[in-house]
């Protein structure tokens, strides 16, 4: 099975999340575990490690760390990614989320819908950046990348 069946997020030391962002995180985890596609590619003559996988997400030494393990907790792979390529899209995503959460409280549905469309566009861009950064390391579909991008936002320094 090429999928993630458990996700552990190490967010120790980060500021408390707003209720809205905490809800998005919970939904992303739930949706990710319900439906995802995540596989590791073969490396030359070496067969790809089989899933399912338990994934740990953390920030260590200023880098985003994906720690993949088998369901029996044996190490399978680890990826360390720079935050650099994510910074602008994460910043844009948090700004549009803030606008969206404020709009829901006071604007008519047509304006809320326009802001939500922009939010989804930025979210898709973040997912594409993640897919690009994981190219050759992992294979994931756009929905899995979107859900992981949401979780990355929570771990991004300065959020």
The pLDDT tens digits of the residues spanning 26-77 come to 888 999 999 999 999 988 888 888 889 999 998 888 889 999 999 889 999 9
Domain of 85 in residue numbering reads as 4-155
Q: How confident is the model at residue 159 (pLDDT cuts 50, 70, 90)?
A: very low
The pLDDT tens digits of the residues spanning 103-146 come to 989 999 989 999 999 999 999 999 999 999 999 999 999 999 99
From the number of C-beta atoms within 10 Å of its C-beta (0-12, 13-18, 19+), residue 38 rates as: buried
Closest CA to 28 of 115, 159, 107, 126: 126
Residue 20, pLDDT > 80, answer: no
Q: β-strands 4-9, 38-39: how paired?
A: unpaired
The pLDDT tens digits of the residues spanning 75-99 come to 999 999 998 898 899 999 989 988 9
DSSP conformational letter for 42: P
Number of domains in the chain: 1
d(CA 52, CA 45): 21
Q: Is the model's pTM score more than 0.75? A: yes
């Amino acid at each position: 099975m090429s999928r993630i069946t458990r996700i552990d997020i190490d967010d120790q030391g980060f500021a408390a999340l707003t209720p809205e962002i905490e809800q998005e995180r919970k939904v992303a985890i739930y949706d990710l575990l319900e439906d995802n596609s995540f596989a590791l590619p073969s490396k030359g003559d070496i067969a790809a490690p089989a899933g399912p996988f338990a994934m740990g997400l953390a920030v260590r030494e200023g880098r985003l760390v994906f720690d993949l393990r088998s369901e029996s907790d044996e190490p399978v792979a680890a990826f360390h990614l720079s935050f650099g390529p994510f910074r602008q899209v994460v910043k844009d995503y948090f700004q549009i989320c803030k606008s969206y959460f404020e709009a829901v409280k006071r604007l008519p549905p047509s304006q809320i819908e326009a802001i939500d469309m922009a939010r989804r566009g930025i979210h898709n861009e973040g997912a594409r950046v993640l897919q690009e950064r994981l190219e050759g390391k992992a294979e994931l579909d756009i929905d899995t990348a979107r859900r992981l991008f949401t979780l990355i936002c929570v771990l991004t320094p300065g959020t």
